[in-house]
């Protein structure tokens, strides 16, 4: 099944296949399983459903590596729109937004750092006015220092701004120590980019060990850890560390992707854990969907059978 992953990822570039996927009944079901839609209304409706189930949400308007200033501006506008909608629906208390800096100008060749900082400030201000917060997503390792610098600058005026750290990077345990202070919200994930051995652990076991070490640092610190994982072992270890360190429920949270282990999300929430769901939406849903399909063999099989039956 792993042999199919690369071809599926290559299909992510095809507009023709995108049209086919979005119109086929079977694959349309797969689409909505992972991405609620392209616009604000669909994202907010999905948020409302999850909040009704006792979950909290973070919304990501899909897009990254933007090299067009107009597109960066459009992304900022999309965030302002969804924040207004969340506020109008009374959902802002239970829903924040996640922002990739490369989607709002960080990758622009002329003054990208400042453009991204200014755009992030605009989003942070709108989030505060709506009654919620922003978390800065982390991307590949070449942007880590720039992202943490922008985080530090934003936190001067918006100390509630959340950070993301990736456990597969060698540096992350030290970054956790620096960010595990009072008032600091930090999402810990394993990491999803193809990084070189010089900066990242390559073996899954080494990544898992790093994740546990980083969890310990964050849970023993004074900040607010956000443990992003679908791995049952990591969840169990995180809960154990939280208990051992005297962490009260509500002083940390777990996070999972929309459509991944939804029953486990509800179970954790039902047991009193704070459980946040990461909802991606927007026009760039296709590449995101194909990456999710490539990660899950059972969905790959379902998808390929759908394509065959369509011919």
Residue 187 annotated to the active site: yes
- pLDDT in the model for residue 310: 45
User: What is the SS3 assignment for 64?
Assistant: coil
What whole-number distance in Å separates Cα of residue 13 and Cα of residue 131? Answer: 38
Show Cβ contacts of residue 225 under 8 Å, excluding neighbours closer than 6 positions: 180, 186, 188, 215, 218, 219, 252, 253
What whole-number distance in Å separates Cα of residue 266 and Cα of residue 176? Answer: 28
Residue 175 annotated to the active site: no
Residue 193 is encoded by which pair of tokens? 């980019």
What pLDDT, in 10s, does the model give residues 93-144?
999 999 999 999 999 999 999 999 999 999 999 999 999 999 999 999 999 9
What whole-number distance in Å separates Cα of residue 173 and Cα of residue 306? Answer: 43
Comparing C-alpha atoms, which of 142, 67, 154 is closest to residue 110?
67
pTM of the model: 0.90
User: How many C-beta atoms lie closer than 10 Å to residue 51's C-beta?
Assistant: 18
Q: Which stretches of the chain score pLDDT less than 50?
A: 1-2, 310-311
* DSSP code of residue 311: -
Task: Name the active-site residue from 60, 137, 140, 175.
Answer: 137
- pLDDT in the model for residue 135: 98
Comparing C-alpha atoms, which of 218, 282, 203, 283 is closest to residue 251?
218
- pLDDT in the model for residue 29: 75
User: What number of CA atoms fall less than 13 Å from residue 158's CA on the CB side?
Assistant: 25
Q: Which residues of 88-108 are buried (b: 16+ CB within 10 A; e: fewer)?
A: eeebbebbbbbbbbbbbbbbb
Residue 188 is encoded by which pair of tokens? 């810990």
Residue 242 is encoded by which pair of tokens? 């939280």
Task: Name the active-site residue from 60, 140, 185, 187.
Answer: 187
3-state secondary structure 190-223: CCCCCCCCCCECCCHHHHHHHHHHHHHHHHHCCC
């Amino acid at each position: 099944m792993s042999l199919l992953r690369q071809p599926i990822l290559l299909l992510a570039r095809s507009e023709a296949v995108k049209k086919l996927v979005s119109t086929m009944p079977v694959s349309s079901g797969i689409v909505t399983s992972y991405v609620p839609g392209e616009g604000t209304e669909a994202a907010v409706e999905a948020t409302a459903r999850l909040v009704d189930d006792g979950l909290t949400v973070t919304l990501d308007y899909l897009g990254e590596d933007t090299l067009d200033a107009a597109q960066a501006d459009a992304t900022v506008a999309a965030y302002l729109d969804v924040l207004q909608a969340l506020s109008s629906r009374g959902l802002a208390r239970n829903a924040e937004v996640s922002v990739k800096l490369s989607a709002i100008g960080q990758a622009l060749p002329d003054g990208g750092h400042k453009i991204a900082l200014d755009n992030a400030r605009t989003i942070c201000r709108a989030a505060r006015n709506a009654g919620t917060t922003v978390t800065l997503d982390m991307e590949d390792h070449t942007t880590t220092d720039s992202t943490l610098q922008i985080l530090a600058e934003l936190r001067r005026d918006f100390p509630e701004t959340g950070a993301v750290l990736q456990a597969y990077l060698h540096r992350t345990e030290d970054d956790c120590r620096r960010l595990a202070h009072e008032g600091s919200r930090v999402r810990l994930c394993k990491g999803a980019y193809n990084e070189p051995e010089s900066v990242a652990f390559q073996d899954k076991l080494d990544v898992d060990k790093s994740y546990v070490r980083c969890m310990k640092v964050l849970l023993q610190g004074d900040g607010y850890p956000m443990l992003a994982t679908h791995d049952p072992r990591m969840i169990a270890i995180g809960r154990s560390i939280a208990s051992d360190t005297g962490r009260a429920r509500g002083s940390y949270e777990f996070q999972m992707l929309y459509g991944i282990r939804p029953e486990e999300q509800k179970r954790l929430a039902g047991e009193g854990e704070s459980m946040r769901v990461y909802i991606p939406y927007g026009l760039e849903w296709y590449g995101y969907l194909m990456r999710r399909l490539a990660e899950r063999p059972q969905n790959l099989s379902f998808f390929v059978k759908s394509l065959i039956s369509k011919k």
